[in-house]
Amino acid sequence: MRVYPPDAKWHEMADGGVIPQAGNAEEYDVSGWRSVHPVRDDECCIQCLFCWIYCPDNSVIVKDQQVVAFDPKHCKGCGICAQVCPKDCITMQPGADMPEQEDE
């Protein structure tokens, strides 16, 4: 990934919105974009998987057909998961910090 000095001019930077190679989203950590983060109430959740279906960044982690967590590296805090939850089990909490997902 290219890093620019703070005084770089617009014409010295790469064009925005260009995907240099397909399938490279896994390489990018976008957690710094977040000002809120999702929190799911496990007791309330009916495992409809709407959050997983609608998440634009594939940040909802599902194992054995069950939502288990949100990916802190790829969640941008957009809140779509909370908006589509039919039981209002997901709330958006202030702050960028999310618990790190343990590797299984």
Domain of 81: which CATH number?
Answer: 3.30.70.20
Average pLDDT over residues 6-33: 81
The band of 104, judged by pLDDT with boundaries at 50, 70 and 90, is very low
Q: Which helix (H) or strand (E) holds 93?
A: strand 90-94
Ranges 8-17, 29-38, 75-84: which has the least confidence: 8-17
Please say if the pLDDT value at position 72 is more than 80.
yes
Average pLDDT over residues 48-74: 95
Look at residue 27 in the predicted model and tell me its pLDDT: 81
More confident residue, 92 or 32: 92
What total number of domains does the chain contain? 1
DSSP string, 30-76: -GGG-SEEEEE-TTT-----HHHHH-TT--EEEETTEEEEE-TTT--
Residue 80 lies in a domain: yes
Q: How much is the pTM?
A: 0.74
The residues, ordered by sequence, that sit 6+ positions from 84 with a Cβ below 8 Å of its Cβ are 50, 51, 53, 54
| Host domain of residue 57 | 28-94
The band of 10, judged by pLDDT with boundaries at 50, 70 and 90, is confident
Q: Is residue 68 within 8 Å of 38, Cβ to Cβ?
A: no
Residue 52 lies in a domain: yes
Residue 90 lies in a domain: yes
Question: Above pLDDT 90, what percent of the chain?
Answer: 57
**Tokens 């039981």 identify what position?**
87
